[in-house]
Chains A and B, each alone.
Chain A
Amino acid sequence: MAPKHIGIGILAALVLTAPCRVQAGPAIAPIDPPARSSFDPQSLAHGAQLAAIGNCNACHTAPGGKPYAGGRALTTPFGTIYGTNITPDPETGIGRWSEAAFSRAMREGLDRQGRHLYPAFPYDHFTKLSDEDVKSIYAFIMTRDPVRAETPPNALPFPFNIRALIGVWKGLFFERGIWQPDTGQSAEWNRGAYLAEGLGHCGACHTPRNALGAEKKREFFAGGEADGWHAPALNARSPSPVPWTAASLYAYLRTGVDDLHAVPAGSMVPVVHNLAAAPERDVRAIATYVAAVIGLPTPERQSQAQQLLEQTKRGEISVARVDTGTSKAPEDAAPDGAAIYAGACGICHDSGRTTSSGGALQLALSSAVALPTPRNLIYIIQQGILPTEHEPGRFMPGFDGALTSGQLAALVAYIRTDLGKAPAWQDVRAEVEKIMQEKQQ
């Protein structure tokens, strides 16, 4: 199609969808960056806690960059979007945004000039925030250190680079409005729901999205993805070998450590790191809400988990029982997953110690082994698990470079079938090679 025809097509799309399209907005006048003293200290402190729950710094800070100064690449199926500079720098940040402009961005997904924002910024969640919370977050954000840093331009291929089309997306998928409590539920559940659905935007990763990138409301918390990592289901189909409870979720979210579950990896690392700074009762509330969505396990699942726990306590799911002796002829044999596990992983993962005693989780208990995709397990083996920069924390060494793609695939397959006792994943080798390729780029 000639560019002229494409242009006409887009114009037609915009005109014809006008009734269900959300208009871009008017520009809001710029202000002078507000002085720190103009903000109420309590509001500021509250805003800091809210920003911790919202995990704002994770998307708005580049690796090794200054906090909130943007520049972090977010890979989406539609191309790469860069988190913007939200420090109060007047030229390259949001220093000239009034509270009204900030609030409109959070609630309606429009920037100060009135242009649509890409829904990679989860305003479909932030729209639920109370006025007081938006005010507090504004106070917090506008009192960060201003950093002069131009946000790199997004790398979105046509037609996704046409902001006006977001109006169509909003018309189809975006529901504005402050969150309403469910009177049939407890106060703690409601607090947790408000936080998880609003600021925490958990569904942004943990709910699957349709072809146009909108969350599938009917498959709420059925599992999604973030930055290539699979975000597990947090509903009745939670794959966790030992079912989550409000108590174990709280321990995980607050400290990153629960004896019967793995430590956070991938995109959950900054989430858990930030939640350590949130009020304890808020983290408890989120845990209560998510546990309620997961629901109580079926009796069958409960008894499976019980059996699994007993087996791991007795050291039955262990490579120690596998003969990795010299009986095989290694020159011609395919990579032996059991031998690789015994030599590379067993010393930590088979030690019989628990995560709270500084040991590594027995892999039969790990969600990563029970997921529909091997991706997370592959990422973890390749990259290891690293503490947040400058902070103490759990450390697992990465095996990138130590294992070839065939060896890594054999190891992953072994862990899945022999330790996870689950049906083999399809195309593990292909996934390993795809992930190794990603790293080259």
Chain B
Amino acid sequence: MITLDVNGRAHQIDADPATPLLYVLRDHLKLNGARFGCGLGQCGACTVMADGRAIFSCLTPISVLQGRPIKTVEGLGTIEDPGPMQQAFIEEQAAQCGYCIPGMMMRAQALLERNASPSRAEIRDHMTPNLCRCGTHMRILRAIERAARAMQSGTARGAGGSGR
């Protein structure tokens, strides 16, 4: 039995310690934001945060996550009360099929929590591990810059929901 702290709530998980977090999030906790894109750490669709760092949940066994706060896209806000990152993506209409977007948001969130006003070049460099097949990259970049400005000025509507 492993205890995982996901979006501020503790969950008891009965699974093999080698199980990657992605499957626990989706199958056990029904947090379907993180996606399976490749299962190999090559696409970033599974990206979530642990200890404030972006990680590939498809390649992180739950055994290493005991006691380490995990944040998923569901922890950034809700449909009724989107957080600044989600709001920025909505305003820039940065999703086409949407499959890559939660991973993009979490990778970006990890950046903005460390570097509140990154340059375009820094954003591009940081976002390298995340792929988008529909090609909404330019909107994604603008959305991240928008989220950074919103977070900086504190004009974000609400602080976002505390998630599930």
Do A and B truly interact?
yes
Can you list, as one digit per residue, whether each of B31-47 has a CB less than 8 Å from chain A (1) or not (0)?
00000000111100000
Q: In this complex, what residue of A is CB-closest to B63?
A: A339
Instruction: State the CA gap A401–B19 with chains docked (Å).
Output: 18
B54 CB contacts on chain A under 8 angstroms: 401
A336/B42 in contact, CB under 8 A: no
Centre residue among B17, B39, B59 by max chain A CB count within 10 A: B17
A330 CB contacts on chain B under 8 angstroms: 1-2, 17, 63, 66
Instruction: State the CA gap A343–B39 with chains docked (Å).
Output: 11
Of the candidates B3, B61, B66, the one whose C-beta lies within 8 Å of that of A342 is: B61
Interface residue tally for chain B (C-beta within 8 Å): 30
Is A347 interfacial (CB 8 A cutoff)? yes
Name the interface size band of chain A.
Answer: 20 to 34
Is B55 interfacial (CB 8 A cutoff)? yes
Say whether, besides A324-B17, A325-B16, A402-B50, A344 and B61 are in contact (CB < 8 Å): yes
Is B56 interfacial (CB 8 A cutoff)? yes
B17/A336 in contact, CB under 8 A: yes
Instruction: State the CA gap A310–B51 with chains docked (Å).
Output: 42
Closest chain-A Cβ to B61's Cβ sits at a distance in Å of 2
Centre residue among B16, B39, B63 by max chain A CB count within 10 A: B63
Say whether, besides A330-B63, A343-B61, A401-B51, A324 and B18 are in contact (CB < 8 Å): yes
Is A348 interfacial (CB 8 A cutoff)? yes
A64 CB contacts on chain B under 8 angstroms: 121
A399 CB contacts on chain B under 8 angstroms: 59
The residues in B between 1 and 26 inclusive whose CB is less than 8 angstroms from any CB of A are 1-3, 14-20
Is A331 interfacial (CB 8 A cutoff)? yes
A343/B18 in contact, CB under 8 A: yes
Q: In this complex, what residue of A is CB-closest to B65?
A: A402
Closest chain-B Cβ to A164's Cβ sits at a distance in Å of 41
B64/A402 in contact, CB under 8 A: yes
Say whether, besides A326-B14, A402-B55, A340 and B1 are in contact (CB < 8 Å): no
Say whether, besides A343-B19, A397-B59, A403 and B64 are in contact (CB < 8 Å): yes
Is A255 interfacial (CB 8 A cutoff)? no
A324/B64 in contact, CB under 8 A: no
Is A302 interfacial (CB 8 A cutoff)? no
Say whether, besides A330-B2, A348-B40, A401-B54, A324 and B60 are in contact (CB < 8 Å): no
Centre residue among B41, B55, B62 by max chain A CB count within 10 A: B41
A324 CB contacts on chain B under 8 angstroms: 16-18, 63
Instruction: State the CA gap A348–B39 with chains docked (Å).
Output: 9
Can you list, as one digit per residue, whether each of B53-89 has a CB less than 8 Å from chain A (1) or not (0)?
1111001111110101000000000000000000000
Q: In this complex, what residue of B is CB-closest to A399?
A: B59
Which A residues are closer than 8 A to B by beta carbons? 64, 324-326, 328, 330-331, 335-336, 339-340, 342-348, 395-397, 399-404, 407
Which B residues are closer than 8 A to A by beta carbons? 1-3, 14-20, 39-42, 50-51, 53-56, 59-64, 66, 68, 121, 129
Q: Which 3 A-B pairs have the closest CB atoms?
A: A343-B61, A401-B53, A397-B41
